[in-house]
Amino acid sequence: MRRVRYDSPGGPLFVEDVPAPEPGPGELLVRCAAVGVTLPVVRKAAEEAEPVPLGGEIAGEVVAAGAGVTRFRPGDRVTGLCFGHAYADLAPLHEAMASPVPDGASAVDAVALVRGGLVALGALHAARPEAGEAALVTAAASGVGHLAVQVARTRGAIRVVGAVSDPAKADFVRSLGADEVAVYGEEGWGEPADYALDAVGGDLLGRVLAALAPGGRLVAYSSGGGTVRAYDLLVGAKSVTGFQMARVAREQPELYERWRRELWHLFAEGAVRPRVHARFTLEDAERAHADVLGRRNLGKVVLVP
């Protein structure tokens, strides 16, 4: 089978032929019909000292099941997060991370919706939104952000502001239902928001905090780091909460599963529609990484083996 790998940080991605893996205990072996590309994985490939497996969301058909698997069998359509080699024709998926893909949804729909949508739902949950509040979403054109803009509306946001790195993304963000679009380097982000979901971090974190109304809540779920001054929290009675999806999946599986069901319900109703920036082959994985690292994507970047 084919699998994408690289040999050095920031080095070229290439396809190699390797034997198909065997599913271990509690694992499914999935024939990948779609693989989601995420910013954390792209950053690891560019920065980690040693090469790491290129993981990510996968969706496809179960072709084999390891010992102890009880919920799925060969022929089932599933999606989930693969921590091993996901950029491949066949990939292992732990049963605990797998969920069924419902009829009427494609594999591309699944990888564009589920993981990013779970992060969006989780970040909103951490923000404790109330009906009639205003929301600010950074990286609003990204794989997670474009879903967060839509989900915020389902949580009662009366005004949604999408913040982006490039004004060329404004029309796309408005097409998602955002009322206003803010650009990182420009002044005038409009009226203050009641809460913000930040996927960027770094130097932008202080700007996002300043864009909140007194008593505002900032939820940070970026891998980009960043700091805020305690005084800026104190003077505006503001708060910052960190959110990590892996912790919820590990410690609150019932909540994790409830969010997954809600996502598919919102999808079926048409309240949330994942958008796909581009579909790349495995051989074009490096181009996919370049789009994500350069923040050129509008929606999800997907590999289709």
Task: Report which of residues 91 and 190 the model is more confident about.
Answer: 91
Residue among 102, 149, 123 at smallest CA distance from 299? 149
Q: What is the pLDDT of residue 238?
A: 97
Query: Domain spanning 2-101+275-303 has what CATH number?
Result: 3.90.180.10
Give the Cα separation of 139 and 92 in Å (integer): 30
Q: Looking at residue 206, what is its pLDDT?
A: 93
Question: Can you give the pLDDT at residue 249?
Answer: 82
Least confident of 30-34, 41-45, 180-184: 41-45
Flag whether pLDDT at 97 surpasses 90: no
Q: Are strands 180-183 and 159-164 parallel, antiparallel or unpaired?
A: parallel
Write out pLDDT tens, residues 254-286: 898 899 999 999 999 999 999 999 999 999 999
Mean pLDDT of 125-154: 97
Which one is predicted more confidently, 21 or 250? 21
For residues 199 and 245, give the distance between their C-alpha atoms in angstroms, rounded to a whole number. 13
pLDDT band at 49 (very low <50, low <70, confident <90, very high): confident
Instruction: Give the Å distances, CA to CA, from 239 to 209, 214, 220, 242.
Output: 9, 10, 11, 10
- Closest by alpha carbon to 100, among 28, 4, 15? 28
Domain ranges within the chain, ordered by starting residue:
2-101+275-303, 116-245
- Cα dihedral sign for 199, 202, 203, 209? positive
More confidently predicted of 232 and 175: 175
Average pLDDT over residues 88-107: 94
Tokens of 296: 């050129």
pLDDT at residue 225 above 90?
no
Residue 101: exposure state from Cβ atoms within 10 A (0-12, 13-18, ≥19): buried
For 101, the token pair is: 């893909």
- Mean pLDDT value across residues 189-217: 95
Q: What is the mean pLDDT of residues 34-49?
A: 90
pLDDT tops 80 at residue 132: yes
Residue closest to 81 by CA, chosen among 115, 59, 57: 57
Q: What is the DSSP string of 25-83?
A: TTEEEEEEEEEEE-HHHHHHHHH-SS-----EEEEEEEEEE-TT--S--TT-EEEEEES
User: Fold identical between 2-101+275-303 and 116-245?
Assistant: no
Across-strand partners of 242?
220
Roughly how many angstroms between the first and final C-alpha of the chain, as a whole number? 11
Say what the pLDDT of residue 246 is: 82
Architecture of domain 116-245: 3-Layer(aba) Sandwich (3.40)
Q: What is the pLDDT of residue 248?
A: 87
Structural tokens at position 223? 């891998």
DSSP state, residue 88 = B
Q: How many residues does the chain have?
A: 305
pTM: predicted TM-score of the whole model, two decimal places? 0.92
**CB-CB contact of 152 with 137 (8 Å):** yes
Report the amino acid identity of residue 54.
L
DSSP state letter for 296: -
CA 96, distance to chain mean position in Å, is 19
Structural tokens at position 174: 């408005």
